[in-house]
Amino acid sequence: MEPLRVLELYSGIGGMHQALRESCIPAQVVAAIDVNTVANEVYAYNFPHTQLLAKTIEGITLEEFDKLSFNMILMSPPCQPFTRIGLQGDVTDPRTNSLLHILDILPRLQKLPKYILLENVKGFEVSSTRDLLIQTIENCGFQYQEFLLSPTSLVLKEFPKLESEHPEKNTIVAENKIERKKIEPNICFDNGRQCSGKEAILFKLETIEEIDRKHQQDSDLSVQMLKDFLEDDIDTNQYFLPPKSLLRYALLLDIVKPTCRRSTCFTKGYGSYIEGTGSVLQTSEDVQIENVYKSLTNLSQEEKITKLSMLKLRYFTPKEIANLLGFPPDFGFPEKITVKQRYRLLGNSLNVHVVAKLIKILYE
């Protein structure tokens, strides 16, 4: 069988390419396209034999697309126009223009591709851009399925059956929704209060539901522990949280230990911003986090920093985040790429294992 000719759009550091390899389907990436020069350096470092076009997608003409003669498109368009914490500009956000250009070109191609896989964030599924995408591919005669997937519930476990009972219909598989009610800071150091018949230590700004969910995830023995993804023999000094950050964001940190089986999503702001950008690792495992937090009341700033420093909290290294995202051990970065740039690039990437399984389902 002839290998598929794959066009990789918004190629970034090559998450889609890596997923294609992992899927083991017979395929060759005929071209990867991205405008980000730093991402392109990392891509070229890991996939030196792939044609890499450093240009905007809007700048590629119908004729140029036709010349590439591809029969599969893998793409991960910018998520900022759709993400829940953004402005949700949708079609009015200029970052959507490249995807609109693809949707304009698609019906006019000399030969339609056989397969298309598009990855984006939660929020895309209720956007006008998504509606336009569906309208375009339906007009082109494609069948399609949609999935809303969380790597936390899928990776390293048996992948759930994703085929629709009615393949002629589109499907959205949704993750569990958790009602979030923030706890006011004035009770975050409470010694515990009665809830659902059991004691819960509310030492951080999180809900009872969040605490329960984290305990459940850490109790799931079918998922690997974080320690399996950590680097050995690294100088961790540059990764420890600075005292100011410890003090200012103590109540907002998502803290995990090497024995945990979960982490929050790592975003491109990791290492620069604290809130909502990813988990931090507690490296002094013998120190009880609850005891440290409960003892902070009425301490001076210096004493609080001393107490919090006992936890030895550090950022995950870029290599560790790449491991968690499913990139293989031989995936690397050119030396000149800074730690901050690596975090940004990884935060814009995807989970290789999940996408590999989706490519396999699409192909089979």
Q: What is the pLDDT of residue 67?
A: 97
Domain membership of residue 174 (yes or no) is no
Residue 162 lies in a domain: no
Are both 221 and 302 inside the same structural domain?
yes
Task: Tell me the C-alpha distance between 97 and 70, whole Å.
Answer: 22
CB-CB contact of 241 with 301 (8 Å): no
Within-domain flag for 200: yes
> Does 166 fall in a domain?
no
Residues 267 and 308 reside in one and the same domain: yes
| Helix, strand, coil percentages for the chain (3-state, nearest 5) | 40, 10, 50
Angle (CA) 196 201 202, round 5°: 95
Q: Is the pLDDT of residue 231 over 80?
A: yes
The rounded Cα 355 to chain-centroid distance in angstroms is 11
Q: Could you list the active site residues? A: 79
Q: Which distant-in-sequence residues (6+ apart) come within 8 Å of 51 by Cβ?
A: 30, 31, 32
- Determine the average pLDDT of the residues in 325-351: 96
150 & 200 share domain: no
Mean pLDDT of the chain: 84
User: Mean pLDDT across the stretch 128-132?
Assistant: 89
Return d(Cα 282, Cα 94) in angstroms, integer: 40
- Say whether both 257 and 190 belong to one domain: yes
Q: What range does the domain containing 151 cover?
A: 4-155+351-363
- pLDDT (average), residues 41-52: 98
pTM: 0.84
Quick: pLDDT tens for 178-207.
233 333 333 233 333 333 333 333 456 677
**CATH classification at residue 74:** 3.40.50.150
Q: Identify whether 205 is part of a domain.
A: yes
* CATH number of the domain residue 298 falls in: 3.90.120.10
Asked if residue 140 and residue 203 are part of one domain, the reply reads no
Pair 43, 147 in one domain: yes
- 189 shares its domain with 307: yes
315 and 355 inside one domain: no
Among 6-10, 78-82, 345-349, whose mean pLDDT is lowest? 78-82
What was the pLDDT predicted at 357? 92
Instruction: Give percent above pLDDT 70 in the chain.
Output: 83
The total of structural domains in the chain comes to 2
Give me the sign of the Cα torsion angle 344, 345, 346, 348.
positive
Percentage of the chain modeled with pLDDT above 90: 59
- Which run of H or of E encompasses 294? helix 289-294
Same domain? 137 vs 211: no
Residue 129 one-letter amino acid: T
Tell me if 220 is assigned to some domain.
yes
344 is a domain residue: no
Q: Do 96 and 211 fall into the same domain?
A: no
pLDDT for 37 equals 97
| pLDDT digits 0-9 by tens, 284-337 | 988 998 889 888 888 899 999 999 999 999 999 999 999 999 999 999 999 999
Q: Do 192 and 117 have their domain in common?
A: no
Residues 312 and 193 reside in one and the same domain: yes
In a domain, 285, yes or no: yes
